[in-house]
Amino acid sequence: MTFDIRRGGFVVQPARAIDAKACRMLLPMMPAQSQFVVAVEGEHGLVIGAAGLTPSRRLQPLAGPGVMIHVIEPCRGCGVARALSQAATAAAAGQGAKALYAAQRCQCEGPAFAAWRRLGFDLCDVVEEHELPLAEFVPRLAPLVERLRREHRIPADARIVPLYAADRAAVLQLHVDHMGGDRQSLYQKLHGEGPGAFHPRYSRVLLAGQRTVGCILAHRKSRHVAAVDANIIAPAFRRGWANVWLKLEATQGALSLGITHFHFTSFDQYADTRSFTAKLGGVTTVRRALMYRPL
């Protein structure tokens, strides 16, 4: 079927029950509870695009839902995506949102990045994915940790334990406070359940007294690669002894199980992690952007 949007025009309206299938086909990654608007072309009355608002919201830097937008290829370049974006923005603002976020990150400077820019979205933060060989970790990190101990910079009441020996409820709360995430999914992974469950032996948790202040949570990606899902240090303990020591302990645990490389993700606020990556021969494989539009 051919479409001539310039001749027949289109309208953007809230999705109806009969549009549910089209929304699922256009936006298969959106939760069923999402709020949808659709673009309907005027000649055949068919859905040619859709936008969905996620039921969950980000809280930082501004509170607001995620949005996904998709327009079928024959109808692109005619203002459909912009109209859908405007409708989604109005719906979010009407619900008290202060910003609208792209529901999925996109590769920096890629086509999707440019498309969000055209819709008035700006860069919120950048996530980097790294591949890091572990061969140099112990000989380079162990002397640093030893020096920190000699200088009494590691508190006497600080200790690192494997995940299986930690207070997993406290680890869950640390994750939610500093990285967000779905509580039920995190609970399952912390207890070794489901795909990508955190490995209980080479995942490590940092304690200061009775407080849980850091963790490295990882799962086995392949025979020799562990994917680090979370590398969290509470703000008061960043840029110092905590990150070095936690990485050393996690490395030693992984090496004992045959892991030779860590694959992990870092966020803008983890400048110390990115610095370590560069110093220890790591490679940045992907840079992905979170796009947002303050309202």
Quote the DSSP letter at residue 240.
Answer: S
Could you report the per-residue pLDDT of 274-294, keeping only the tens digit for each? 676 777 667 787 889 999 999
H/E segment holding residue 276: helix 271-279
Distance CA 30, CA 92 (A): 16
Beta bridge partners of 70: 50
Q: Judge whether 70 and 27 are in contact, CB under 8 Å.
A: yes
pTM beyond 0.75: the answer is no
How many Cβ atoms sit within 10 Å of the Cβ of residue 7?
A: 9
With contact defined as beta carbons under 8 Å apart, do 179 and 229 qualify? no
Q: Output the pLDDT for position 263.
A: 84
Q: What is the mean pLDDT of residues 144-157?
A: 94
Give the pLDDT confidence of 176-202 residue by residue, as tens digits. 998 888 888 899 999 999 888 999 988
Q: Which domains does the chain have, with CATH numbers?
A: 5-104 (3.40.630.30), 128-288 (3.40.630.30)
Predicted confidence at residue 5, as pLDDT, reads 79
Query: Alpha-carbon distance 33 to 90, whole Å?
Result: 19
